[in-house]
Chain A
Amino acid sequence: MRNRKWLVAILLCVVGVHVLALCSGFLAPYDYAEQNRNLPYAPPSTLHFRDTQGVFHWRPCVSPLVERPGTFGVYDEDANNCLPVRFFVRGTEYTVLWLFQSNWHLVGVSQPAKIFLLGSDGYGRDQLSRLLYGSRLSLFAGLLATALTLGLGGLLGTIAGFYGGWIDAALMRCVELFLALPWLYLLFALRAFLPLHISATQAFLLLITAIGVIGWARPARLIRGVILSGKERSYVMAARMFGASDLYLMRRHMAPYTYGILLTQAAMLVPQYILAEVTLSFLGLGVAEPTPSWGNMLSILQQYDVLVSYWWMWAPGGALIVVCFGYWLLAGALQTRAESIAH
């Protein structure tokens, strides 16, 4: 694989997924909290390309669903009615990037039909919309927590490596301490000591902080190693002789060597942290209803009947796999690039 092109392609894909997450308001047909009590566990909508008369159209249409009397979660389509799918419709309002309001949506269909491209959950909420809104939370929780870990670990590792002496010794003991602990248990313990019932925004920030802080040890040790080997180089001593400040030395001569490590660490940590958020929310320790996160969306699968009967509820799992796969390819590409640079 031609390294540079492949790396750029993968990077674009990963960034693309995140951009999609940010555009969730526009891409989602419905609001994440919009309930339809008459349509619990509706399967994904069938897109018909032939209308009720059997005429073919390029524009698909969707038939409204009616619950079969006497059953729960079993639906029949109203064959006499097929409403066309429209693009760029006006729907519920949402906020774009915390800046301004809009109510444009990419797809929509007129009442009484519903376009549930990924089915609905127990409250009749559109799973696709919830998946998209949830992606904002899960994906960016992973990113921000990674940034925190690398920032904290990088800073501490740089200070320890640069100044040496007792600072270094003390830091290394702390690193040993944190590495000696199973990190998920530590994360849970940290979560235990923080308030249980909190708003979604608070939960988000809390999760990022907790996950980010726990993992500082490994990057710190790696960065420290880089700094230690860089410190002894003659050109660093030369710069010091010219009167360079510590900050200048760290910034100009040592920091560039850390970028490679930071990038590869990031590609490995982000999926791990996304998974941490998902796990916490899954178990009820993260983001709570009605705010969707891939974790609390998957939580319903703990009920056996949902697990077995409604396959579309696994959608967040599929999304997770896609994201993990993307980051795994990215990590591989970065690793290959780092190795080729080293030669």
Chain B
Amino acid sequence: MRYLGQRILQSLILLVGVSVLSFGFIELSPGNFFDEIRLNPRISNETVSKLRSQYGMDQPLPVRYARWLGSVAKGEFGFSFAYNVPVASLLWPRARNTLLLTGSAMLLAWMLALPLGILSAGRRNGLIDHATLLLTAVLLTIPDLLMALGLLLFALRTRLLPAGGMMSLDAENLSAWKQTRSVAIHLVGPALVLALASLPTLIRHTRAAMIEALDSPFVRAARAHGLSPYRILFRHAFPVALNPLISLFGLSLGSLLSASLLTEVLVNWPGLGPLMLEAILGRDVYVVIGVVLFASAFLMCGTLLGDVLLFAADPRIRTEKLT
């Protein structure tokens, strides 16, 4: 428990660091939201100045940071200039959608990577191993940008999958079950793209971890006992390989998040990605900071979850921490 508390504290400190870093970047920014408005000849300069002071943009940086912190404490995370609402109200639904997408992608990726990695390690240089290596090579060389575009092409040509969005256009009028089904169908494509993008690293590490586990003495003993190879693979070797894989879980989440940004934009999935892009193009500063914070927090939660799982799964770490 103390371990968990320590890690949470570390993460919070990191988040504060991220927010300071982001605010620091603002100082570098030569343009801001109000420049765009200023270009409009019908809006006078006084109005722009009044707007600026209303939003507190004419205050020095530390004051703005302090006010923003207050806003965070209230749960608002600053104010969006474009939408005229607190940033948090924009972020939560988007974050939920991103979570749904990345969660499904992670699940799918691991479901594919684990068997492939385990079986490849089980019979090195066998058929499955070579096929998996080929698959990994192909997936590594195709950038996720192209995979997402390919998905769209496939969707448009074959009409088997929807070409973007999260739900069909008339979804609000349908029953809850039909809505869920609609979301699920829309989820398949982008989740698959993201899963395929993460697959190479996951397979490689699973295979390596399994090979190491298979070389350990107690597995060799099990083999000497005459246990069936599959039993050895899954019941004996795999739990040992689990340790580094759980660490991988936290790390892979980071790259998955980065990949999801682009994919969400391309398939029009209403997650944090498109919001980020919109905010950047519209110079909506507090939204950008909010998105970065949410994405970072998301990543930290994932790493934390990985650490907790590791703690629970590996009795050695438990005893180590208690001494």
Contact, chains A and B (beta carbon distance below 8 A): yes
Task: Report A's interface with B, CB cutoff 8 A.
Answer: 176-177, 180-186, 188-196, 275, 278-279, 282-285, 298, 301-302, 304, 307-308, 314, 317, 320-321, 324-325, 328
Q: Is B1 an interface residue (CB 8 A)?
A: no
B32 to A: closest C-beta gap in Å: 10
B265 touches A283 (CB 8 A): yes
- Chain A residue at minimum C-beta to C-beta distance from B292: A189
- Chain B residue at minimum C-beta to C-beta distance from A186: B292
Stretch at the interface among B13-21, B172-180, B224-232: B13-21
B157 touches A189 (CB 8 A): no
**Alpha-carbon separation in the docked complex, A185 to B123 (Å):** 40
* Interface contacts beyond A177-B21, A182-B296: sample of 10 additional A-B pairs, CB < 8 Å, sorted by A: A177-B17, A182-B299, A183-B254, A192-B29, A192-B285, A194-B29, A320-B146, A324-B140, A324-B141, A325-B141
Q: Is B149 an interface residue (CB 8 A)?
A: yes
**Cβ–Cβ < 8 Å partners of A282 in chain B:** 145
Partner of A321, one of B31, B142, B276, B292: B142
**Cβ–Cβ < 8 Å partners of A183 in chain B:** 254, 258
B141 touches A193 (CB 8 A): no
Evaluate whether A176 and B14 lie within 8 angstroms (CB atoms) in the complex, with A190-B25, A195-B31, A278-B145 already known: yes
B25 touches A328 (CB 8 A): no
**Cβ–Cβ < 8 Å partners of B149 in chain A:** 298, 301, 307, 314, 317
**Alpha-carbon separation in the docked complex, A181 to B255 (Å):** 10
B299 touches A184 (CB 8 A): no
Partner of A177, one of B18, B143, B262: B18
B26 touches A328 (CB 8 A): no
B28 touches A308 (CB 8 A): no
A287 to B: closest C-beta gap in Å: 16
**Alpha-carbon separation in the docked complex, A125 to B141 (Å):** 28
**Cβ–Cβ < 8 Å partners of A181 in chain B:** 18, 254, 292, 295-296, 299
Q: Is B277 an interface residue (CB 8 A)?
A: yes
**Alpha-carbon separation in the docked complex, A229 to B199 (Å):** 33
Q: Is B63 an interface residue (CB 8 A)?
A: no
B143 touches A184 (CB 8 A): no
- Chain B residue at minimum C-beta to C-beta distance from A332: B137
Binary CB contact string for chain B from 129 to 140 against chain A (1 if under 8 A, 0 otherwise): 000000001001
Q: Is B291 an interface residue (CB 8 A)?
A: yes
B295 touches A321 (CB 8 A): no
**Alpha-carbon separation in the docked complex, A192 to B283 (Å):** 7
**Alpha-carbon separation in the docked complex, A191 to B152 (Å):** 27
Partner of A189, one of B137, B288, B300: B288
B145 touches A284 (CB 8 A): no
B145 touches A298 (CB 8 A): yes
Which residues of chain B from 264 to 284 have a CB within 8 Å of any chain A CB? 265-266, 276-277, 279-281, 283
Task: Report B's interface with A, CB cutoff 8 A.
Answer: 11, 14, 17-18, 21-22, 25-26, 28-31, 137, 140-143, 145-146, 149, 152-153, 156-157, 163, 254-255, 257-259, 261-262, 265-266, 276-277, 279-281, 283, 285, 288-289, 291-292, 295-296, 299-300, 303
A173 to B: closest C-beta gap in Å: 8
A302 touches B258 (CB 8 A): no
**Cβ–Cβ < 8 Å partners of A275 in chain B:** 143, 145
**Alpha-carbon separation in the docked complex, A193 to B30 (Å):** 8
**Alpha-carbon separation in the docked complex, A270 to B194 (Å):** 21
A110 to B: closest C-beta gap in Å: 36
B145 touches A180 (CB 8 A): no
Which of A176, A182, A188 has the largest count of B CB atoms less than 10 A from its CB? A182
**Cβ–Cβ < 8 Å partners of A190 in chain B:** 25
B19 to A: closest C-beta gap in Å: 11
Which secondary structure dominates chain A's binding surface? helix
**Alpha-carbon separation in the docked complex, A307 to B17 (Å):** 42
**Alpha-carbon separation in the docked complex, A307 to B145 (Å):** 13
**Cβ–Cβ < 8 Å partners of B259 in chain A:** 184
**Alpha-carbon separation in the docked complex, A284 to B17 (Å):** 29
A185 touches B292 (CB 8 A): yes
B197 to A: closest C-beta gap in Å: 11
19 A-B residue pairings within 8 Å (CB atoms): A180-B11, A181-B296, A182-B254, A185-B257, A185-B295, A188-B261, A189-B22, A189-B25, A189-B288, A193-B285, A194-B29, A285-B280, A298-B145, A307-B149, A307-B152, A317-B143, A321-B146, A325-B141, A328-B140
B156 touches A304 (CB 8 A): yes
**Alpha-carbon separation in the docked complex, A196 to B291 (Å):** 19
A279 touches B262 (CB 8 A): yes
A180 touches B137 (CB 8 A): no
**Cβ–Cβ < 8 Å partners of A196 in chain B:** 31, 281, 283
**Alpha-carbon separation in the docked complex, A192 to B152 (Å):** 27
B31 touches A192 (CB 8 A): no
Which of B258, B259, B303 has the largest count of A CB atoms less than 10 A from its CB? B258
**Alpha-carbon separation in the docked complex, A301 to B153 (Å):** 10
A113 to B: closest C-beta gap in Å: 31
Which of A177, A185, A301 has the largest count of B CB atoms less than 10 A from its CB? A185
